[in-house]
Amino acid sequence: MDLIPFDYATLRLVWWLLLGVLLIGFAIMDGFDLGVAALLPFTARSDDERRVVLNTIGPVWEGNQIWLVLGGGAIFAAWPPLYAVSFSGFYIAMILILFALILRPVGFTFRSQISNPRWRSVWDWALFVSGAVPALVFGVAVGNVLQGVPFRLDDTLRPFYEGNFFQLLNPFALLAGLVSLSMLVMHGAGMLVWKTEGPIQARARTYGGLAALAVIALFLLAGLWVWIGIDGYVITSAVVGDGPSNPLAKTVEMQAGAWLAAYTTRPWTMAAPILGLAGAAIAFLAFLARREVLPFLASAVSILGIISTVGLAMFPVILPSSIDPRSSLTVFDASSSHYTLWMMVLATVVFLPIVLAYTAFVYRVMRGKVTAASVADNHHSY
């Protein structure tokens, strides 16, 4: 371990930050794919218009999914207990997300194979489901994490999940799901305004503006709910940053308003919710002002702020337990070994720039508007 230039606590913080970067990257890069798919039946009225909408994301959606793969891989490798509890406890929700995401490649592949309008309409609605359902369920999962997940660890650190799928569908979690859905619809509308023109662009502006207003209202409502109705988690024992990964070695208490205590102890964290609200407000004004690129950029800022709000408010907790607070997982007691985290940093330093360079290259090649004429002229179009 003497060859590792960073101590254990620092690497744990680094991977907490990297996990946040990957989740935000997924929400921004694949989020507009989900938003565009969710808007498909509403922004496109004819088959030609629907083909235009699909081809705004057709060349890039597969590459954007790498952010989801990277996020899941990072959780598996850097935070094994978090992976074990969340992917088993949210098993049915994960299956629902995967089923919806599977509809996306199937829909893109089969939609244009037959020119029958009914056939294409069925796949159009399948693509709508592939966008709206994951956007909603991801938010529901976050809402449940903020409330605490019903799991416990035994003396051998084996996790036991004691909830069920229908418990996930509680009022606050559904509100968080609506925040997520409206946020990604806003982002998808920003992409359509950027990449299309004419009636599709006009409809996207309308729906994008409405989604931006919904983001502001729902995010504020969720914050108020957290303030007055949801207990947070406070570590009452010493936080040992370089100690062994044993969640049961600490003591934790649930306290009213604890999730908002970060704004008192770390005032700079107020920047996160401010960015979330300001980004949505700027996106709304940009939609009204008929700007083309600004709505997308502003919605990306809003996504950054909203996701960061959750992570910063909960730090250092990453998965609280509602039935045994001591079992809650934190940045400092649920990670992989010191050596594993360091090896993963080296791998990230090598491969993340490759992903970013490839992504930048693809978007440069595919720049420009998507029109009905360009779709008709390109035999590779969907």
**Token digits for 127?**
């693509």
Residue type, 162: E
pLDDT at 31: 92
92 in a structural domain: yes
Q: Which residues of the chain have pLDDT under 70?
A: 1-2, 379-380
Q: Residue 331's closest CA among 10, 1, 53, 89?
A: 10
In a domain? residue 291: yes
**What pLDDT does residue 2 have?**
60
pLDDT of residue 90: 85
In a domain? residue 3: no
Question: How many structural domains does the chain have?
Answer: 1
Domain for residue 354, yes or no? yes
- Within a domain: residue 382? no
In a domain? residue 1: no
The pLDDT value given to residue 303: 97
Between the alpha carbon of residue 357 and those of residues 38, 324, 350, the distances in Å are 28, 44, 12
- Which structural domain range is residue 79 located in? 8-377
Residue type, 48: D
Q: Are 86 and 23 in contact (CB under 8 A)?
A: no
**What is the DSSP pairing of strand 252-256 with strand 151-153?**
unpaired
Q: Is residue 152 included in any domain, yes or no?
A: yes
Positive or negative torsion for Cα 220, 224, 226, 229: negative
Please report whether residue 2 resides in a domain. Answer: no
What DSSP string describes 290-331?
T-SSHHHHHHHHHHHHHHHHHHHHHTTEEE-BSS-GGG-EET
